[in-house]
Structures are given as C-alpha cells and as structure tokens.
Amino acid sequence: MSEAPAGATAAGRAPFGERLAAATAARGPLCVGVDPHPSLLAAWGLADDADGLRRFSLTVLEAVADVAAALKPQVALYERHGSAGLAVLEELLAAARDAGMLTIADAKRGDIGSTMAAYADAWLRDGSPLAADSVTLSPYLGFESLRPALDLAAETGRGVFVLALTSNPEGASVQHVGGDASVARRIVDAAAAENRRYAGSPEGHGSVGLVVGATVGGAVDALGLDLAAMAGPILAPGLGAQGATPADLRTTFGAAYGQVLGTSSRDILTGGPTAAGVRERAERTLAELAG
C-alpha cells in the first residue's frame, strides 16, 4: 500500500480546503452554478426532462472544467425529475471528478441524529454515488446537529459550506437576531472553531466554509463578523443576474476577500446552448473577479 501524501486524510486525499485553494490559485476564484431551471432548459432548446437535464449539465461541465475552480449543481433542480434526475446528477458528479474539477453539491441539508448521519453518508462517503467534494448545510437546528457531516467530511478529505448570512429578505429575521451575539456570528465562530480543530494544512486552508450572499452589503460589518479569522472558504452566490458585481465582493468581504469563491449561475448559463458561449461568459466573469 502506497503512503498517503503529507497532510492527507484517512481517505488518502488532501483536505478539501487545501484542494480548493490550489484550484483557485490555478484557475481563479470562480464557482459556476449548474441550475437547470425549466426556463433555462427551454432557452437552450431542451426538453424539461432527464435527457434535457443531462445535455444541459454535461455541456456546462465541458465549458468550464478547465476555467472555474468549482462546479455547484443545485440539487433541487435534479430532484424535481425524480430518480432519473438524480441519476443525471450522479453522472455529472462522476464526470466532474474524472475531469479533475471540484464539486459543491448545493443540497442545504440539515437534520438531527441518524437522519443527519444519513445525509452525510449520501453526500460525503467514499463510494456513495452522490459523493461530492463538498456539500452545503443548514445549521438552523443548531450547529452541533451537523456533527455527523463535519466529522465525515474531515475523515474523507471533503468539505462543507454552512449557511451563515444569506441575501434573501427573510434571512435577516433569523440570522441577524441577537445583536453582538447574532445567530450569524455564532455560526461564523463555530466554523472557525471547526477549522482550528481540523487544521488541514500549514497554510490554514480550512475545509469548513460558509455561505455568505454576495448581495448582503454592509451586514458583515454591522454584525461584527470576522470572516478572515474563520480561516475557511466563503461561497458567495449572487454574482451577475442577482445583482452583485466583483467590486461589491471586495467591499462586502474586505480582508476576507481572498477566501471568497464568487458564484455565478444564470449570468453564465444564459451563454448557452453552446459550450463555447457558456465558456465565454465564465471567462468574462473570471476576468472581472481578477481585475
């Protein structure tokens, strides 16, 4: 049996945070969302069925596999097609793995006990057909309810992105509550503690990340969130069609900007139906992020 590389997990791979940092350094801080909405399928001239879903998904992967640091399929838009849709998602995750591209399953799972353990098993276990490099999680049953996923991710060299500060108007009614000890701040602090517990590399690239909307504006400062000290990646959805610009990201995240993975979906996907069109949109977004 060959020896695992330095810094490798028990599964024999480098921790997710370390792998994401390498991908970002090589390609730039862009995550492309794969959001096969019925309207987008129609705009591409595809049927709203499993075949259309497959053609859409694999075209996006072909377009951005060597451009973006990560690919983020929106799980709900595969689930709506039932078992056939989940089979397409399994195929996409496997194809991305073969192409050497990191994946973030945008599933937003959260529960307690054996149910949370089952979610972790589905998205983070070696050998699972749905295993991605990372998965989004919802901590609103308590951060510690995510323990099965946190521990399995650490064991297998995968990562998680925990919802912390979202840009939907309703989010503030939960996430901003508590003043100096807001719900959002407690989530950020808990993620930081996890990254200290599972120090993945000498550079401190933690594998427990956060989801912070690109359009949250001054909320990061208003809530006193020390995102830089969290020492993990920040998934920032909302670039492009949702209104955020790369300049907004720099203002919103300040000292933590180097940890940000800017995420764009519709603005890039409307470049289809050709892979060349999608790639052109992705390259343009990446250039703006680097500017």
User: How high is the pLDDT of residue 1?
Assistant: 26
Q: Which residue has the tokens 């959001």?
A: 35
Boundaries of domain holding 186? 110-264
154 and 64 fall within a common domain: no
Number of structural domains (the chain) is 2
Residue 169 pLDDT grade (very low, low, confident, very high; cuts 50, 70, 90): confident
DSSP string, 13-28: S--HHHHHHHHHHHH-
173 and 159 fall within a common domain: yes
182 and 215 fall within a common domain: yes
pTM for this entry:
0.94
128 and 47 fall within a common domain: no
62 and 193 fall within a common domain: no
- Examine residue 80 and state whether it is found in any structural domain, yes or no: no
122 and 169 fall within a common domain: yes
User: How high is the pLDDT of residue 215?
Assistant: 87
145 and 286 fall within a common domain: no
- Examine residue 217 and state whether it is found in any structural domain, yes or no: yes
- Examine residue 203 and state whether it is found in any structural domain, yes or no: yes
Measured in residues, the chain has a length of 291
- Examine residue 90 and state whether it is found in any structural domain, yes or no: no
117 and 224 fall within a common domain: yes
- Examine residue 18 and state whether it is found in any structural domain, yes or no: no
Q: What six digits make up the tokens of 111?
A: 């529960």
Distance CA 285, CA 268 (A): 8
pLDDT in tens, 5-41: 445 666 678 999 999 999 999 999 999 999 999 999 9
Residue 286, pLDDT > 60, answer: yes
Selected catalytic residue, list 37, 97, 108, 125: 108
pLDDT in tens, 172-209: 889 899 888 899 999 999 999 999 987 644 456 899 99
- Examine residue 8 and state whether it is found in any structural domain, yes or no: no
184 and 227 fall within a common domain: yes
DSSP string, 243-285: SB-HHHHHHHHGGGGGGEEEEESHHHHTT-SSHHHHHHHHHHH
For residues 271 and 245, is the Cβ–Cβ distance under 8 A? no
Q: Is 108 a catalytic residue?
A: yes
258 and 290 fall within a common domain: no
275 and 257 fall within a common domain: no
120 and 174 fall within a common domain: yes
- Examine residue 19 and state whether it is found in any structural domain, yes or no: no
- Examine residue 11 and state whether it is found in any structural domain, yes or no: no
